[in-house]
Structure 1
Amino acid sequence: MNEDNTVSDDLKRQAAMFYNSTQREQTKDYQMTWCFWRRRRLVVALLAFFGFFNVYALRVNLSVAVVAMTEPVATTLDNGTVVYIPEFDWSSQTKGLVLSSFFYGYLVTQLPGGWLAAKIGGNRVFAIGIGATSLLTLFTPPLAHTSTALLIAVRVVEGLFEGVTYPCIHAVWSRWAPASERARLATFAFSGSYAGTVVSMPVCSLLTQYTGWPGIFYVFGIMGLVWTTIWWLVVKESPEKDPHITPAELKYIQDSRGTQAVEGSKIRHPWSKMLKSAPVWAIVMAHFSENWGFYTLLTFLPTFMQDVFKFKTSQTGFLAAVPYLAMAIVLQVAGHIADWLLRRGVMSRTNIRKLFNCGAFLSQTIFMVAAAYASTVTWCIVYLTIAVGLGGFAWSGFSVNHLDIAPPHASVLMGLSNTIATLPGIISPPLAGSIVTDKSAEQWRYVFFLSSGIYLLGAAVYGAWSSAELQPWVLELDSDASFDTDGASVTTARGYDNKALDQNSEM
């Protein structure tokens, strides 16, 4: 009995020492919460945020610039007569082609970008994509003055480089994001897209007013090159390769995420099984639906406000940015709520994704229709702000769903879904241009009705077939295994047990 008591006392002392040590570590961690750079995954998230900020600033600049480029300006002829003619006399169809040209290149590199990111690391490909786009943006004004064909060509090439960005970031998160923080880290990074839209639209309007439209491309091109340099120097492929990460944070990420059993160059993607997976196509449809409404407004909102409410170029940039400010804010809230519900066990991961995504789509359908019938600019902006802002809940559903169902293949799955979701950027501008021929409010309503119908279809498909459970084809215990776990996760003969990843930690 004495020996048993001694062993019991020793175990109690060891447990107490471990508990006290853990408490000290957590207290120390909380005291340094404001030092976000000590948590390297937060550094990655912050820089990714500014990366997507640049992605959309570089993409949206032409949407504002094209209004100034085609707006009639006072021109004095040789005989002294003052006439009002645009610098670029484009038809609505030509304008739609110029605005959509970016997406022809963007469509091509989605899957190759995801595949390349899985092989060599998403961090490098992400930097190259944004850096090259920034450099090409600096050449946009002189090429536009040379010929419209060259302007279209440079926008296509910019799209080729930007096409790798979304797939690449999922390759980054598959290594850097703990399972219980996927939604908040991913949505925080993605919210940079909308912050970039919010800032760039009014800034583009101001630059147009004070420097002329070419200043738009010079300012944002330089900003993108500065960001590229910082990202390249700071962000590593994985936490294991970051010399500044603490052992505690590294262990926390590995315990939640699982350790990688195979180097990226040896990863094999089960293409046939992925393409036959209903949850994969549910994500694709949701991504397509959200992007249709988003790209329609992103491309044509300044023009819509000019046509229907007779706003000038300097005013459209500010008001058109309001809906995207709502989106940037809602994304932050939605990501935290999703992770909070998951940690609390209020509902399953799958139901969280469905609730956020389908609820957002149904609400967006209603408010897009309301915007179509708004009689004043104030109510139109209110309805569009709510419609676009609710997209933040949708993004916290489908945009992290790739990481739920197949972490090691998330980059190529994002490449697949973003390939299909890029089609709205190609189809929507020319289609809207062909619908809106006399700049009337009635014709613009058809554009909004179409977006509403696609939101409704996306809600139906995602609600029926989506899942957030690791799929059977993700990991099979054979020579093709591309991802494995350590003691923190359970590996079965069919793959991961997703519930093993739903652990809560305060690291």
Structure 2
Amino acid sequence: MELSGPSRSPTEKTAIKSQLSFNQDLPEIPEGTSSKWHFSIPRRYVVAIMAFLGFCNVYSLRVNLSVAIVAMTSNYSYTENGTEQFKQDYPWSSEVQGLVLSSFFFGYIVTQIPGGWYATQIGGKKLFGIGVGVTALVSLLTPALASTNLYLLVLGRVVEGLFEGVTYPSIHAVWSHWAPPLERSRLATIAFSGSYFGTVISLPLSGMLAEYVGWPYIFYLFGILALIWCALWWYMVAETPQADRRITDAELEYIRSSIGPSANHIKVNVEPPWKRFLTSLPVWAIMIAHFSENWGFYTLLTELPTFMKDVLKFDLKDAGLLAALPYLVMGVTVQSGGFLADWLRSQGNLTTTQVRKLCNCGAFVCQTLFLLAVAHSTTPSAVVASLTAAVGFGGFAWAGFSVNHLDIAPQFASILMGLSNTVATLPGIFSPLLTGHLVQDKTPEEWQAVFYIAGGVYLAGALFYGLFASGERQKWADIPDSYALCRDDQSYASTEDMPYGTGSCE
């Protein structure tokens, strides 16, 4: 078969072959490339860019209320009969505000695992688009819900959480079809980094909208932008490479040959092995690492402003760029970590397991050290510098645990992401409660205990992941040869979603 496309070194081809769990030879891809391939972005990177923008919208829709609620509950002046008066749109107590802000997570934690399973039934592309689209519609309705009834607003936030909860699991269902083994890290982390860039953009923009045109326009703007993205996602992204009318023959054949049956879009009638999920040490390694990273991340970014105000008498909200700097650094390092992981794997000197452990455990150890630096810093600049470094190293951990689901069980990656993200949501609930219990008198020693615990969680996560993580497909995730593409026995498989492209078995 004559194909045009990017060349692959013997090391890379060997690495790709090691990912295949069925009898298939990796085709030779000549040096030359077609003009269409050379002058256009590969379709798998179009998917990554669109997923990046999708996660920008996901986090913009999630965090916009944290800015809007300040304007919704603040006093403002107006003149009535020549007299200056003051009022609030919503005179909510701090407890009510906490309920409104936390209600999102009541829905978010519920749909992680069901979302992962449902993505294997209807497709990750569809579910990801539906998740963002419904959240956008509810965002547009938020001002009306708030003006009607407080409990309708809370219900709306729960619904937003329910539909955003499917986004992380469903994107792994997309990558199980689109991401070649040696590009999994970079493609997945390009997408995930959008959440941090979305936060950096949405926080200051929400503040400007609230000040100059009114807080309702925060929800209108981000809701409309998300709906525009949904239309583009539906138009530009196909569920599978075979269904993409714009993909080149070379890219289609490369994806199909490197991934195997998952990329060939066989609809395999295999029930998720739930018992195997829960008894697999590599799965537990991913879940514990995800939990550890989020515990430290939530501790740093939710409790740090209070720590700096209590101990250093410094209001981080007045720092402007400094408040957004950790998110910006995290977005950059998440992408950098993905590219580094794929480069290390492509060199052939380290196995996938070794690369995942290096990225994850190395990041956790560095984060622990900088957390200790935060605990013992005495100036605001030192705290922000240590915080930025600690958060930044977390980006490299995402090139470990967050992609690992695709290594050990690509066809069940969306379900495994749902499992790990369910566990990883718990720190957002329990970390603030523990901090509130420990910090009674607001002394430096009490805050040091908070950071010591977070450092301990990081080290425990690094130890467990280092001992039990794996980058190899697990035996319970093997696809039998009878399910492979283009065998004589097709009774277990369907190729009905392969209408486009000329990459075939002949």
Tell me, yes or no, if the aligned pair for 2:238 and 2:244 is still in contact at 8 Å. yes
Gaps of 5+ in 1: 1-18, 488-507
Spell out the pairing of 1:301-380 with structure 2 (5 A cutoff): 309-311=313-315, 315=318, 318-380=321-383
Matched, 1:240 2:248: no
Spell out the pairing of 1:467-478 with structure 2 (5 A cutoff): 467-475=470-478, 477=480
Tell me, yes or no, if the aligned pair for 2:117 and 2:415 is still in contact at 8 Å. yes
Tell me, yes or no, if the aligned pair for 1:259 and 1:486 is still in contact at 8 Å. no
Aligned to 1:389: 392
Matched, 1:282 2:285: yes
Q: Secondary structure at the match of 2:32?
A: helix
Cα distance in 2 between the residues matched to 1:212 and 1:449:
42
Spell out the pairing of 1:260-275 with structure 2 (5 A cutoff): 260=262, 263-264=266-267, 266-275=269-278
Deviates further, 54-63 or 164-173: 54-63
Superposition RMSD in Å: 3.1
Aligned to 1:501: none
Tell me, yes or no, if the aligned pair for 1:99 and 1:299 is still in contact at 8 Å. no
Selected match of 1:44 from 38, 44, 47? 47
Matched, 1:415 2:423: no
Q: Secondary structure at the match of 1:464?
A: helix
Aligned to 2:222: 220
- What amino acid is the match of 2:171? I
Cα distance in 2 between the residues matched to 1:363 and 1:303:
23
Matched, 1:126 2:125: no
Q: Secondary structure at the match of 1:108?
A: coil
TM-score by length of 1: 0.82
- What amino acid is the match of 1:411? S
Selected match of 2:165 from 163, 166, 176? 163
Cα distance in 1 between the residues matched to 2:348 and 2:205:
43
Q: What are the superposed Cα offsets for residues 417-449 of structure 1, whole Å, 9 maximum, x if unpaired?
A: 111111122333455456567777666555444
- What amino acid is the match of 1:455? Y
- What amino acid is the match of 2:471? A
- What amino acid is the match of 2:235? L
Aligned to 2:208: 206
Percent identical: 54
Aligned to 1:23: 31
Tell me, yes or no, if the aligned pair for 2:298 and 2:428 is still in contact at 8 Å. yes
Tell me, yes or no, if the aligned pair for 1:286 and 1:459 is still in contact at 8 Å. yes
Tell me, yes or no, if the aligned pair for 1:119 and 1:267 is still in contact at 8 Å. no
Deviates further, 450-459 or 163-172: 450-459
- What amino acid is the match of 1:244? R
Aligned to 1:5: none
Cα distance in 2 between the residues matched to 1:412 and 1:352:
23
Cα distance in 2 between the residues matched to 1:221 and 1:278:
41
Selected match of 1:406 from 409, 415, 424? 409
* Alignment CA distance shift 1:245-1:434 (3 Å): same
Deviates further, 98-107 or 435-444: 435-444
Matched, 1:105 2:107: yes
Cα distance in 1 between the residues matched to 2:391 and 2:219:
26
Tell me, yes or no, if the aligned pair for 2:64 and 2:203 is still in contact at 8 Å. yes
Q: Secondary structure at the match of 2:472?
A: coil
* Alignment CA distance shift 1:386-1:75 (3 Å): farther
Cα distance in 1 between the residues matched to 2:307 and 2:91:
19
Q: What are the superposed Cα offsets for residues 273-318 of structure 1, whole Å, 9 maximum, x if unpaired?
A: 12110000000001111122223445455666666655485x4553
* Alignment CA distance shift 1:316-1:54 (3 Å): farther
Matched, 1:291 2:294: yes
- What amino acid is the match of 1:327? M
Aligned to 2:491: none
Cα distance in 2 between the residues matched to 1:72 and 1:305:
26
Cα distance in 1 between the residues matched to 2:33 and 2:393:
38
Shift of 1:471: 0.6
Aligned to 1:428: 431
* Alignment CA distance shift 1:370-1:211 (3 Å): farther
Gaps of 5+ in 2: 1-26, 488-506
Selected match of 1:116 from 111, 118, 128? 118
Tell me, yes or no, if the aligned pair for 2:63 and 2:202 is still in contact at 8 Å. yes
Aligned to 1:254: 256
* Alignment CA distance shift 1:402-1:433 (3 Å): same
- What amino acid is the match of 2:470? S
Tell me, yes or no, if the aligned pair for 1:287 and 1:421 is still in contact at 8 Å. yes
Deviates further, 365-374 or 186-195: 365-374
Q: What are the superposed Cα offsets for residues 254-285 of structure 1, whole Å, 9 maximum, x if unpaired?
A: 11101347744733211111211000000000
Q: How many residues align?
A: 459
Q: What are the superposed Cα offsets for residues 200-254 of structure 1, whole Å, 9 maximum, x if unpaired?
A: 1222222233234333222211111111111011111110111111110000001
Tell me, yes or no, if the aligned pair for 1:100 and 1:425 is still in contact at 8 Å. no
Cα distance in 2 between the residues matched to 1:56 and 1:350:
31
Cα distance in 1 between the residues matched to 2:450 and 2:69:
20
* Alignment CA distance shift 1:436-1:138 (3 Å): farther
Tell me, yes or no, if the aligned pair for 2:266 and 2:485 is still in contact at 8 Å. no
Q: Secondary structure at the match of 2:477?
A: coil
Selected match of 1:464 from 464, 467, 470? 467
